[in-house]
Structure 1
Amino acid sequence: MESPSASPWVFLYTLANRFEADVLSDVLEKNGVPYLVRSFVETAYDGLFVPQRGWGQILVPAEFLSTARKLVASVLESLTSPKLYESVEELDPSLWDQLARRDPQNVCRRAAVTWNAAHQSYRIPFLAGAFTCVPAQKTILPEQGLVWPMVDFQTGLVLLHYLLEAQDLPLSGRWISEKDIPSGHQFFTGPHALPLDALVRHVADAPHRLAETSKALGGVPVPSADMGFVFVVLPRVPVQCLYWHGDGEFPPSLSIRFDATIAKHLPALDTIWALVNVFVRHWTAALKQA
């Protein structure tokens, strides 16, 4: 929303992520405050600036600064507990509405899930367990077999988008990195870099724990890197994890590969990023339980 006045643009707030940008932009617009969002992620220097300056900034005309500060302070205070986008109840209601209108047979064919007509629910396999999704009740429940039986915002986001967007396609058999996904080279940096460092730190002194915990997640060993595993995170979304022990010159490292069809099933890069976050939480939980 651009300013119709000649007042100079001034800094208002440093944004931590895109979700925060969307929320604050919405409240400013609803209150008639012109604004500009300057995202560092969209620049050629995002890898340098994002860690130091945040995801981006909001600017407003100088004459609106006082009003805008009060609006932002009010929003941030209301988000203190619970934090922004942590609860499954914060999911866009339109996602539930779209799913409720879909033909269950069509959803099951595309997403390779099952429909329980008696309970009006979908069963969605996830790693070694499953989730139950009840569209009419706007509810997602964990089933047995999940090492991290929590349903947060990102879990719900991934599952609903998967049910709505997955395609009835065979796997390509070609593994790609997140940077090979269309627009992934720009997106998966800074705050959207895949959160794999914590996993590496968990197993740096005992890498055999990766092999042990992969079984709890349904992982199948593959002859790649120093250790490799393939996990069926969702029925049409396998993920390959490759681990290198490192040596005197290079530290231990972990990378993730996706089947080249990933963008067909989860077209939004945000959703793929959320998928990896949820997967990492499950693997971290498995490591802690081992």
Structure 2
Amino acid sequence: MQIENHKEEVPFAHYCERFAALDPQEAAARTGTPFENGAFRITLLGHPYRITHPEFSISGEGGTALKSLPAQTFLMRWLLEGKQTAGSRDFLTFREMPWGELYIQPFTGRVLKRAAFSFGTRLEAFRAACTAMGGLPLQAGDAGFEFTLLGNYRLRMLLWAGDDEFPPSAQLLYSANFVDGFAAEDRVVAGDLLCNEIKANL
């Protein structure tokens, strides 16, 4: 394969090699992801996908992961390194979790600023998109919704509309079990993927 986008294709190729060597039964037990007939079945942000093993391929009936190499890399990393944990009623900001300070700048740019300026000036469209995604409306911010990322890992996107004095702003909260189930860089990607899915439904 001729590589055209090094930022996305090089990591994707690397994880495809690691994925091929994965023990699927161990991954299924560790992540709680069913594996049968040569494929994992996983639901990301409400969309069910079928991921074959050992050669990675993904299929489904909708959702941005079908065409997104970063989303597919994220799913491979989940199967390679993630783990299912007990659910949590508590939520944390990105900064409050381990390594949050180190990754706060990419997180702020890729997730918070993007969400604020993509959705903060279009709250009604944001609400409609989140509702179409099956998001649970929250009484927080000017608009807020809760989503299931995968398994029992949940995300809350909160928006505040801008006015003449202040620009729009956003906050993303993670269920506290993210601390044990995901590395910091994967938490950044999780927020990015949520923004992509909302944008696709606007």
In the other structure, the counterpart of 2:188 is: 273
Look up the SS of the partner of 1:277 in the other structure.
Answer: helix
- TM-score normalised by structure 2 residue count: 0.85
Is the 8 Å Cα contact of residues 113 and 125 (structure 1) preserved in structure 2? Answer: no
In the other structure, the counterpart of 2:34 is: 114
Residue 61 (structure 2) pairs with residue 144 (structure 1): yes
Give the share of equivalent positions with the same residue, in percent.
Answer: 19
Is the 8 Å Cα contact of residues 111 and 188 (structure 2) preserved in structure 1? Answer: no
Cα shift at 1:233: 1.4
The one-letter code of the counterpart of 2:7 is: Y
The one-letter code of the counterpart of 2:27 is: V
Root-mean-square deviation over aligned CA pairs: 2.5
In the other structure, the counterpart of 2:173 is: 257
- C-alpha distance in structure 1 between counterparts of 2:141 and 2:121, whole Å: 18
The one-letter code of the counterpart of 1:107 is: A
In the other structure, the counterpart of 2:4 is: 82
Q: Which runs of 5+ in 2 are unaligned?
A: none
Tell me which of 177, 189, 195 is aligned to 2:93.
177
The one-letter code of the counterpart of 1:182 is: P
- C-alpha distance in structure 1 between counterparts of 2:173 and 2:65, whole Å: 22
Cα shift at 1:200: 2.8
- C-alpha distance in structure 1 between counterparts of 2:194 and 2:181, whole Å: 16
**How many residue pairs end up in the alignment?**
200
- C-alpha distance in structure 2 between counterparts of 1:248 and 1:123, whole Å: 48
Q: How does 1:100-249 map to 2 (within 5 A)?
A: 101-103=23-25, 106-115=26-35, 117-118=36-37, 120-139=38-57, 141-146=58-63, 149-152=66-69, 154-190=70-106, 193-249=109-165
Could you list the per-position Cα deviations for residues 70-116 of structure 1 after superposition, in whole angstroms to 9, with x for gaps in the alignment? xxxxxxxxx9x6121323742334531442x241xx5334423322x
- Check 1:242–1:129 CA distance in 2 against 1; reply closer, same or farther (3 A cut): same
Is the 8 Å Cα contact of residues 159 and 169 (structure 2) preserved in structure 1? Answer: yes
Cα shift at 1:186: 2.2
In the other structure, the counterpart of 1:283 is: 198
Could you list the per-position Cα deviations for residues 242-268 of structure 1 after superposition, in whole angstroms to 9, with x for gaps in the alignment? 1112444332211101011113111x2
Q: Which runs of 5+ in 1 are unaligned?
A: 1-78
- Check 1:132–1:192 CA distance in 2 against 1; reply closer, same or farther (3 A cut): farther
The one-letter code of the counterpart of 2:160 is: W
Is the 8 Å Cα contact of residues 219 and 231 (structure 1) preserved in structure 2? Answer: yes
Is the 8 Å Cα contact of residues 48 and 60 (structure 2) preserved in structure 1? Answer: yes
Q: Which of 1 and 2 has higher RCO (CA within 8 Å, sep 6+)?
A: 2
Cα shift at 1:215: 2.0
- TM-score normalised by structure 1 residue count: 0.61
Choose 217-226 or 246-255, whichever is displaced more: 246-255
- C-alpha distance in structure 1 between counterparts of 2:84 and 2:117, whole Å: 38
- C-alpha distance in structure 2 between counterparts of 1:156 and 1:147, whole Å: 10
The one-letter code of the counterpart of 2:195 is: V
Is the 8 Å Cα contact of residues 120 and 159 (structure 2) preserved in structure 1? Answer: no
- Check 1:148–1:286 CA distance in 2 against 1; reply closer, same or farther (3 A cut): farther
Look up the SS of the partner of 2:128 in the other structure.
Answer: helix
Is the 8 Å Cα contact of residues 196 and 280 (structure 1) preserved in structure 2? Answer: no
Q: Which has the larger radius of gyration?
A: 1
- Check 1:89–1:228 CA distance in 2 against 1; reply closer, same or farther (3 A cut): closer
